[in-house]
């Protein structure tokens, strides 16, 4: 069963956002400055459709780097407003179900054509329930505190696919405020959401767990997302909870209080998720532009790439393979300590149809590509840390012999370092179902692909960036009154920040630890 928890609303501001990205890239490549602090002020405005937001940037931006041209300042303002990607969880969830439907031969109305090869195949039952009339309904709940993005799902291509009661929206959003999503506005809808989740869970013959999609920079994704995870822990105890979490990008900010929301939400993710896969828009945007040759990637491009990762993680639940990895096994092999469960992900090949036609894309090549720092879907460099464990999920035309050879080659590379207390390091899965792609999309159809989920100490870079921004604001107690005014205690800020400081320390320690027994033989088998 899946559960999808989401944030906010969405309008099509792609054009200005993309121009801003381009301007900033040009600036990044020509400027000598290596570090800049950005604080974007995004205020809702009632002006026309084009200028939906007013933007601001710190006055001392020029003092930090006087070389920034006026045009770039203007473009950065546009970027900070346009990147306001609320509704990210719903958009990613919708793209994910679009891909699931393609993989299982299910039409947008939930029916499987009678002449389809998928007829008689019940592999869909993990994520879809079948009604008496033959309609296939996703085991998913879409949640938002205001209706705009939910209405897009209700009126979109897949409007007939979803059960109407499983798309839940309130009347007002969380206004970028974790406390509103967690303590006030969010509490008004949480019981309704949990009731729908309970009905879905009761309909499962063997509930394994939940998958939660949200963004922690906004108020709904952070506040309501945390509240739902806490309640799921109470109601469903030891059932697995996997989070696919969009973290704030290092250069791009959509709200002043993003660091507060992120720290408070991560405090909850630490306790109430078993595995959290960290993503960020900027990293995925760069992958799309570089690997797919898209000058201005849209959110559809980003979402469909994320959907490929999520699909790869769940193929073994749905299709046959020689080395299948279920969700529990996945956790067991990736999480050495309960708190160290924040993962980095990559997917290969990300390639356009024009390039795919001219390239071989062997198992060794896609494996090497998955380990490239530029392939990571969060902005951190794995060369700055050590791998504790890695799960490689292959799909399509792949045999164990080729996987063994590819992994052996990876182990010889000096740039890919593993902690010495984990001599095996690799868990591999092979599934025979080749990857599907959305017709008319930019991703090429390929014969084989790999998704890598890795537990690396380098992920601490993401936390240290957010913590630094948190500290700058909290030292002045800036904006704290908005959170306290919604029923939150100020002590929660320092409690959450201390928890993240301890998490950074945990990652530092696991990276530095050495094994007590050196020279032990490496074990091979399913864990290569």
Residues 6 or more apart whose CB falls under 8 angstroms from that of 36 comprise 61, 64, 65
Q: Which helix (H) or strand (E) element contains residue 228?
A: helix 225-236
Sign of CA dihedral 303, 41, 28, 15: positive
Query: Strand 136-138 and strand 128-130: pairing?
Result: antiparallel
Q: 450 in the Ramachandran plot: left (φ > 0), alpha (ψ -120 to 50) or beta?
A: beta
| Helices 491-512 and 258-272: angle between axes, nearest 10 degrees | 60
> Three-class SS of residue 259?
helix
Q: Which helix (H) or strand (E) element contains residue 285?
A: helix 281-291
Task: State the DSSP code for 456.
Answer: E
Token pair belonging to 28 = 């990044």
Residues 6 or more apart whose CB falls under 8 angstroms from that of 401 comprise none
Cβ atoms of 312 and 393 within 8 Å: the answer is yes
Residues 6 or more apart whose CB falls under 8 angstroms from that of 63 comprise none
Q: How far is CA 24 from CA 17, 63, 78, 261, 452, in A?
A: 11, 18, 11, 25, 29
Q: Which helix (H) or strand (E) element contains residue 290?
A: helix 281-291
Q: If 0-12 CB within 10 Å is exposed, 13-18 middle and 19+ buried, where does residue 491 land?
A: exposed
Cβ atoms of 86 and 149 within 8 Å: the answer is yes
Give the number of other CB atoms < 10 A from CB of residue 113: 11
Cβ atoms of 457 and 380 within 8 Å: the answer is no
From the list 19, 152, 329, 365, the catalytic residue is 329
Cβ atoms of 388 and 340 within 8 Å: the answer is yes
Nearest C-alpha neighbor of 292 from the set 380, 354, 365: 354
To the query of whether residue 329 is one of the catalytic residues in this protein, the response is: yes
Q: If 0-12 CB within 10 Å is exposed, 13-18 middle and 19+ buried, where does residue 206 land?
A: exposed
Q: Which helix (H) or strand (E) element contains residue 209?
A: strand 209-215
List active site positions.
329
């Amino acid at each position: 069963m899946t559960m999808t928890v989401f944030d906010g609303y969405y309008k099509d501001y792609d054009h200005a956002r993309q121009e801003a990205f381009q301007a900033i890239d040009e600036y990044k490549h020509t400027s000598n400055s290596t570090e800049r602090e950005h604080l974007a002020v995004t205020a809702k405005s009632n002006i026309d459709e084009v200028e939906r937001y007013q933007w601001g940037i710190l006055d001392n931006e020029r003092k930090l780097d006087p070389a920034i041209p006026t045009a770039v300042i203007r473009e950065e303002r546009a970027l900070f407003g346009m990147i306001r990607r609320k509704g990210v969880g719903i958009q990613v969830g919708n793209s994910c179900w679009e891909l699931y439907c393609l993989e299982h031969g299910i039409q947008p109305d939930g029916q499987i054509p009678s002449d389809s090869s998928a007829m008689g195949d019940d592999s869909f039952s993990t994520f879809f329930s079948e009604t008496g009339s033959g309609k296939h309904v996703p085991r998913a709940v879409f949640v938002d505190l205001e209706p705009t993005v939910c209405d897009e799902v209700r009126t979109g291509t897949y409007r007939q696919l979803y059960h109407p009661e499983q798309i839940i929206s309130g009347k007002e959003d969380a206004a970028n405020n974790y406390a509103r999503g967690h303590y006030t506005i969010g509490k008004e809808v949480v019981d309704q959401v949990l009731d729908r989740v309970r009905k879905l869970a009761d309909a499962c013959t063997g509930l394994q767990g939940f998958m939660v999609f949200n963004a922690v920079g906004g108020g709904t994704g952070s506040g309501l997302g945390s509240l739902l995870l806490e309640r799921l822990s109470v109601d469903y105890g030891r059932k697995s909870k996997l989070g696919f979490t969009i973290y704030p990008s290092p250069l791009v900010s959509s709200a002043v209080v993003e660091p507060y929301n992120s720290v408070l939400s991560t405090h909850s993710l630490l306790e109430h998720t078993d595995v959290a896969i960290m993503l960020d828009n900027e990293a995925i945007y760069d992958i799309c532009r570089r690997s797919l040759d898209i000058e201005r990637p849209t959110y559809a491009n980003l979402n469909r790439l994320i959907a490929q990762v999520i699909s790869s993680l769940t193929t073994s639940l749905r299709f046959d393979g020689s080395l299948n990895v279920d969700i529990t096994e996945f956790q067991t092999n990736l999480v050495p300590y309960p708190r160290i469960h924040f993962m980095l992900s990559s997917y290969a090949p990300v390639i356009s149809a024009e390039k795919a036609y001219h390239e071989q894309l062997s198992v060794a090549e896609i494996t090497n590509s998955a380990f490239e720092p530029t392939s990571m879907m969060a902005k951190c460099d794995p060369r700055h840390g050590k791998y504790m464990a890695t799960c490689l999920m292959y799909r399509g035309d792949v045999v164990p012999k080729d996987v063994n050879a590819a992994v052996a080659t990876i182990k010889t590379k000096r740039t890919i370092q593993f902690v010495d207390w984990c001599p095996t390091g690799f868990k591999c899965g092979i599934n025979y179902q080749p990857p599907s792609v959305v017709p008319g999309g930019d991703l090429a159809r390929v014969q084989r692909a790999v998704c890598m989920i890795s537990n690396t100490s380098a992920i601490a870079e993401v936390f240290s960036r957010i913590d630094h921004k948190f500290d700058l604001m909290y030292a002045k107690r800036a904006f704290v009154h908005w959170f306290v005014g919604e029923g939150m205690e100020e002590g929660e800020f320092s409690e959450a920040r201390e928890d993240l400081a301890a998490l950074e320390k945990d990652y530092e320690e696991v990276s530095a630890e050495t094994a007590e027994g050196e020279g032990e033989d490496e074990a091979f088998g399913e864990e290569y």
